[in-house]
Structure 1
Amino acid sequence: MVLEILRVDGLRGEYDRRAIHDLLRTLPGLGRVVVNLADHTVRIERNDEASLATIIQVMRDAGYGVAVLA
């Protein structure tokens, strides 16, 4: 598994935390997904089945700004 850390703009509260978590859990190839409201990040464990580009696009399509931190 590869660990990705994404900065998410538009992450305002519990509703957004749950929405992002639920959205990402529908994608194949993802393991653990942790949404942190305090630092506006999402930590994602993914395998080769899940592309980072797809993850970012799905989040942008949902209205969130996304930048890769690590």
Structure 2
Amino acid sequence: MISRDIDVQYLKLKKEIGETIFTAKDFTDKRRRFENINFQIRSGEIVALAGLNGPAKRVWPRVFIG
């Protein structure tokens, strides 16, 4: 459809994952909507949170913001 061959659609960038910039350990919401969550975010990583649609989708940003 585009009248040319597509050999490379995306450039593969070699990016190193760096040091830890955020750590959550035994993370629990005051209302106990989630309990004992542990994770690390390192420099250079792409992070996404996914879940069901509903009121809980607004909980994560509020918890992180404070």
Q: TM-score, normalised by structure 2?
A: 0.34
Q: TM-score, normalised by structure 1?
A: 0.33
Structure exhibiting the larger radius of gyration computed from Cα positions? 2
Q: Which has the higher helix share?
A: 1
Q: Which has the higher contact order (CA 8 A, sep 6+)?
A: 1
